[in-house]
Structure 1
Amino acid sequence: MNNAVAGFSKLSKEEKINWIAKEYFSTPSEAIVLLKNYWNTDEKIQKLHDEFIENTITNFYIPLGVAPNFLINGKYSTIPMAIEESSVVAAASKSAKFWSTRGGFKATILNTEKNGQVHFIYKGDESKLALFFAQVKSKFFTDTENITKNMQKRGGGILDIQLKDKTDLLDNYFQLHATFDTKDSMGANFINSCLEQFAKTLKAEALTYELFTENEKDIHVVMSILSNYVPNCIVRAQVSCPIDELEEKHIENPQAFAERFVQAVKIAEIEPYRAVTHNKGIMNGIDAVVLATGNDFRAVEAGIHAYAAKSGQYSSLSHAKVENGIFTFWLEVPLALGTVGGLTSLHPLVKLSLEMLENPSAQELMQFVAVAGLAQNFAALRSLTTTGIQDGHMKMHLNNILNQFDANENERITIRKHFKHHAISHSAVVDYIETLRK
Structure 2
Amino acid sequence: MTDWQHGFYKLSLAKRQQIVAHQFELTGNQQELLQRQVDGVNEQMVENYLTSFHLPEGIAVNLLVNQQKYVVPMVVEEPSVVAAASNGAKLVAKNGGFKVTSNKSMMIGQVVITDLKDVDETVHWLQQETIKILQVANQAKPSMQQRGGGATKLKIRTLKKDWLAIEISVDTGEAMGANGVNTMCEAVGHWLTDHGFNVLTAILSNFATQSLQTVTCAIKVIDLATDMMTGEQVAKKITQLSELAQVDPYRATTHNKGIMNGIDAAVIASGNDWRAIESGAHAYAAIDGAYKGLSTWQVENGYLNGTMTLPLSLGIVGGSIDIVPLVEVNQRMMAIESAVQLAQVIISVGLAQNLAALKALATNGIQAGHMELQYRSLAVAIGASESEVEQVVKQLKGIKHVDRNTATAVLNQLRKDKNNGRN
Aligned to 1:239: 217
Tell me which moved more, 128-137 or 356-365: 128-137
Q: CA deviation at 1:132?
A: 2.2
Determine helix, strand or coil for the equivalent of 1:84.
coil
Question: Which of 149, 155, 159 lines up with 1:162 in the alignment?
Answer: 155
Q: What's the counterpart of residue 193 of structure 1?
A: 183
Q: Which residue of 2 aligns with 1:71?
A: 64
**Is 1:143 aligned with 2:136?**
yes
Q: Is the Cα–Cα contact under 8 Å of residues 35 and 57 in structure 1 kept in the other structure?
A: yes
In 1, the alpha carbon distance for the partners of 2:370 and 2:81 equals: 9
CA contact 2:99–2:215 (8 Å) conserved in 1: yes
Deviation at 1:103, TM superposition (A): 1.4
* Partner Cα distance (1:96, 1:245) in 2: 13
Please point out which of 193, 200, 216 is paired with 1:203. 193
- Separation in structure 2 between the aligned mates of residue 84 and residue 103 of structure 1, nearest angstrom: 30
Decide which of 113, 123, 129 is 1:120's aligned counterpart: 113
- Matched to 1:6, the amino acid is H
Q: Could you tell me how far apart the structure 2 residues matched to 1:309 and 1:81 are?
A: 27
8 A Cα contact 2:372 2:393, kept in partner: no
Q: What is residue 42 of structure 1 aligned with on the other side? A: none
Deviates more, 1:219-228 or 1:195-204: 195-204
Q: Is the 8 A contact 1:243 1:325 kept in 2?
A: yes
Quick one: distance in 2 between partners of 1:424 and 1:343? 44
Give the RMSD, CA atoms, in angstroms.
2.1
1:12 to 1:116, Cα distance in 2 relative to 1, 3 A: same
**Alignment coverage as a number of residue pairs:** 415
Q: CA deviation at 1:116?
A: 1.7
Could you tell me the TM-score, scaled by structure 1's length? 0.89
Q: For structure 1, which segment, 224-233 or 129-138, has the greater mean C-alpha deviation from structure 2 after superposition?
A: 129-138
**Partner Cα distance (2:125, 2:257) in 1:** 46
Matched, 1:303 2:293: no
Q: 2: CA distance between counterparts of 1:194 and 1:408?
A: 54
Q: Return closer, same or farther for 1:251/1:342 CA change in 2, 3 Å cut-off.
A: farther
Unaligned runs of 5+ in 2: 417-423
Q: Is the 8 A contact 2:294 2:309 kept in 1?
A: yes
Asked if residue 258 in structure 1 is aligned to residue 235 in structure 2, the reply is yes
Aligned residue for 2:51, secondary structure, equals coil
Q: What is aligned with 2:33?
A: 34
279-288 vs 153-162, greater mean Cα deviation: 153-162
Q: Which amino acid counterpart does residue 321 of structure 1 have in structure 2?
A: Q
Alignment of structure 1 residues 35-434 onto 2, 5 Å: 35-39=34-38, 46-168=39-161, 172-204=162-194, 206=195, 218-247=196-225, 249-250=226-227, 252-408=229-385, 411-423=388-400, 425-427=402-404, 428-433=406-411
CA distance, structure 2, for counterparts of residue 59 and residue 412 of structure 1: 26
Q: 1:258 to 1:24 in 2, by over 3 A?
A: same
- CA offsets 1:264-286 (integer angstroms, 9 cap, x no match): 11111111111111111111100
Shift of 1:312: 1.2
Structure 2: how far apart are the matches of 1:254 and 1:110?
35
**What is the Cα deviation at residue 164 of structure 1?**
2.5
Identify the range of structure 1 (407-416 vs 149-158) with the bigger mean alpha-carbon deviation. Answer: 407-416
* Displacement of 1:256: 0.9
- Amino acid in the other structure paired with 1:175: A
Output the CA distance in 1 between the equivalents of 2:362 and 2:267.
Answer: 28
